[in-house]
Structure 1
């Protein structure tokens, strides 16, 4: 069978299997085994266990459970509420300070936890009622938190970036640095829209809030500065050549657990057990998907599907930006239905040779891909963050949350356009810190 036709058959079969309700990892294994048996014979099954476990034989993978423990220990405490309150106290006299403090808290908490749903829940429980109480439109209150929560997969340390680095054999350190400026750009765009929307509503009084004494401002800082210090320390250790990403993640996880125990009195064995249990579940899920995606990639390569698609794309007489636009549409559609980790692991083996052949930087493309995944987190039909917000504010309709999120989707599209016009937004910092890549 023609490899391109076979590739289309694999894509259709994968979509059908995944929509049947099977887990992503099991779905990939079922499709891989089925096509390998049909086109390569039963002997191909002998290689599947070796490929499955061989994909996990990577020292860099240790950073994933460590960063997840780091985020879980933070999410299990009042760190999100304290972070939100600290920013509110310091930014209360800034025009639009409340919505800025919410977005800032989302950005920082997302960077610490690496989890979009956890960020939405932690900051939303405090921020949404407070914004609504002061008269902010429901769309702005809900949409800003839903969009702010997505920043966790872009701002370092990001588990999604680690997965992309492993899938494409790209430097994780460079990927982390590449997400810094685009992440700050998105925060700025989100804040700009929120302020404009609030001003347009005609409620000028919303742009300022109450006042806090200097004592009230400083007394909250000891609770949040250690966590921010850990993030800075993790990044310094990684880029200062002190430790590898995996070693840095392990130290960061230990420090976060210690701080959670000392500052937030997380001494009870039952509470610590919940942190470790949830971290283990999420880590196993991600690692299982990585292993299954390795088998899926082997199947695509063994049947010459990946090579044929890359060769076919190379023969197309189209502008490379038209090609990139097509890739973005594909990523958007995939992100509407699948979690970011699954999309990266399934698409990276196919897309990487295509974008490198077209002359695009794989580090830059990682940021483009990640922003597309962020859009999927606040877009139906899956839109996980939308349902999290609806769960913590059930009296705000899903339609209102969705309409409030759409302007932030537009902000992400603008960010993608800016990155296409100015690729240095993603590549300058990695090159400046770690030297040009060749």
Structure 2
């Protein structure tokens, strides 16, 4: 089929450019411009400039640097590490308690940070050394942290969800709310896998027998409380319609800065670093968005999404089988492309078919986000794997990869549950 040939040619061209070290965003932009010029028309190239301007000037994109800044301030000020200390104290007596606490800390930090690598780096810097110091298997320590970091893009706020919302013109507020229950479900599935592993092999996580005084528990919880309150303020304001995602992002960023300053955890140099990181990440986001829109424009003018939709909907099979095939394709693609690139490439191609099959675009956005989570912990290009190698320099990469791969299982189980029970993702948005 012609659409498959066009799409395969696009993916092959992108991989070729990546092989010669061309950034993915630039590669997609170049392919989009070249394909439009050669296969559509020279005059159509001028439309790309209009697309770049209109999309980058969209007010909704202001939410991106605001949520990124909120996460950066909390991460650099050390407020995020207080989540691990609190979670670890409350869960330490469970099988694999410190690893379970790591998942809990990642879930808490995810609620104020829209990035998976930042979540893994912030929590991993303290959790991995702590687990190893207490006799935990290095594979379990690295795996739990890498997998927990993936919650950073499922539990709102989420940078990938913002990108998905912009591309599909779906409500970002509803996407954020849709991620709450799946995020909690994924955290529970990850914790369950840790407990099962430890029960089968107790030697990988020695039990902690020392009782922690209630005063120490309260003190640790008090230190983590500001982060929890900021997260609740952001999500509750969006859910009940008190604020748009952009307004909630502004309040969250301001609250993070004020809280860190009040607790004397934020110096001017750290604030400058947070702002610098925010600008860099936002610039990368914008370049990726524009490059993706260029390639999407060319593929759309060549009829790829339309033909792909007609082909998939004409197949004489149950719709869920097609969704499974799409998920398998995403799983394979995630091994070779970075997460946001997968989203920009795949969504314009498959969304039309998914909606035609009767599935909700918000539900599909959550499925895509979980697939991006899996991509973050699968070699050879899993972001979280390399982030942990950087923040824990003495880590052996084989331990990081070996410990992380088993956590793909609960993520796949989560996708299966969402396919069987779509209301896990759609219940809360339906109440708005």
- TM-score norm. by structure 2 comes to 0.95
- Which deviates the most, 119-128 or 373-382? 119-128
Is residue 305 from structure 1 mapped to residue 304 from structure 2 by the alignment? yes
Alpha-carbon deviation of 1:255?
A: 1.0
Deviations 1:71-98 (A, max 9, x none): 1111111123221112222333445432
Seen in structure 2, the aligned counterparts of structure 1 residues 209 and 307 have a Cα distance that, compared at 3 Å, is: same
Aligned position for 2:97: 97
- The 1-side partners of 2:133 and 2:190 are apart by 21
Aligned position for 1:321: 320
- The 1-side partners of 2:421 and 2:411 are apart by 15
Aligned position for 1:367: 366
- The 2-side partners of 1:163 and 1:202 are apart by 42
Report if aligned partners of 1:137, 1:198 keep a CA contact under 8 Å in 2.
no
Aligned position for 1:195: 195
Matches within 5 A, 1:369-384: 369-384=368-383
- The 2-side partners of 1:402 and 1:201 are apart by 19
Aligned position for 1:66: 66
- The 2-side partners of 1:274 and 1:79 are apart by 16
Deviations 1:246-285 (A, max 9, x none): 11111111111111222143132x2221111110110111
Alpha-carbon deviation of 1:229?
A: 0.5
Deviations 1:274-299 (A, max 9, x none): 11111011011101211222222211
Seen in structure 2, the aligned counterparts of structure 1 residues 59 and 77 have a Cα distance that, compared at 3 Å, is: same
Is residue 47 from structure 1 mapped to residue 55 from structure 2 by the alignment? no
Aligned position for 1:12: 12
Seen in structure 2, the aligned counterparts of structure 1 residues 412 and 2 have a Cα distance that, compared at 3 Å, is: closer
User: Any unmatched runs of 5+ in structure 2?
Assistant: none
Report if aligned partners of 2:29, 2:290 keep a CA contact under 8 Å in 1.
no
Deviations 1:190-213 (A, max 9, x none): 111111212222349823342222
Seen in structure 2, the aligned counterparts of structure 1 residues 188 and 6 have a Cα distance that, compared at 3 Å, is: closer
Alpha-carbon deviation of 1:58?
A: 2.0
- Which deviates the most, 291-300 or 240-249? 291-300
- The 1-side partners of 2:120 and 2:358 are apart by 37
Report if aligned partners of 2:14, 2:24 keep a CA contact under 8 Å in 1.
no
Report if aligned partners of 1:29, 1:296 keep a CA contact under 8 Å in 2.
yes
- The 2-side partners of 1:16 and 1:318 are apart by 34
Deviations 1:145-193 (A, max 9, x none): 0100011110011111111111111111221122111111111111111
Report if aligned partners of 2:198, 2:205 keep a CA contact under 8 Å in 1.
no
Tell me how large the CA RMSD over aligned residues is.
1.9
Aligned position for 1:293: 292
- The 1-side partners of 2:130 and 2:212 are apart by 16
Deviations 1:343-395 (A, max 9, x none): 11221111110101112221111111111111111100101111222233344
- Which deviates the most, 133-142 or 211-220? 211-220
- Which deviates the most, 161-170 or 397-406? 397-406
- The 1-side partners of 2:5 and 2:131 are apart by 53
Seen in structure 2, the aligned counterparts of structure 1 residues 387 and 69 have a Cα distance that, compared at 3 Å, is: same
Report if aligned partners of 1:377, 1:385 keep a CA contact under 8 Å in 2.
yes
Report if aligned partners of 1:173, 1:245 keep a CA contact under 8 Å in 2.
yes
Aligned position for 1:140: 140
- The 2-side partners of 1:3 and 1:91 are apart by 52
- The 2-side partners of 1:132 and 1:9 are apart by 46
Seen in structure 2, the aligned counterparts of structure 1 residues 41 and 203 have a Cα distance that, compared at 3 Å, is: closer
Seen in structure 2, the aligned counterparts of structure 1 residues 5 and 102 have a Cα distance that, compared at 3 Å, is: closer
- TM-score norm. by structure 1 comes to 0.93
Report if aligned partners of 1:96, 1:195 keep a CA contact under 8 Å in 2.
yes
- Which deviates the most, 40-49 or 166-175? 40-49
Matches within 5 A, 1:205-220: 206-220=206-220
Report if aligned partners of 1:98, 1:209 keep a CA contact under 8 Å in 2.
no
Report if aligned partners of 1:6, 1:305 keep a CA contact under 8 Å in 2.
yes
Aligned position for 1:333: 332
- The 2-side partners of 1:145 and 1:96 are apart by 13
Matches within 5 A, 1:112-127: 112-127=112-127
Aligned position for 2:165: 165
Aligned position for 2:270: 271
- The 2-side partners of 1:265 and 1:389 are apart by 24
The alignment partner of 1:53 has SS state of helix
Aligned position for 1:77: 77
- Which deviates the most, 210-219 or 89-98? 89-98
Aligned position for 2:419: 420
Report if aligned partners of 2:289, 2:344 keep a CA contact under 8 Å in 1.
yes
Report if aligned partners of 2:338, 2:382 keep a CA contact under 8 Å in 1.
no
Report if aligned partners of 1:132, 1:138 keep a CA contact under 8 Å in 2.
yes
Seen in structure 2, the aligned counterparts of structure 1 residues 2 and 379 have a Cα distance that, compared at 3 Å, is: closer
- The 1-side partners of 2:154 and 2:110 are apart by 9
- The 1-side partners of 2:165 and 2:65 are apart by 15
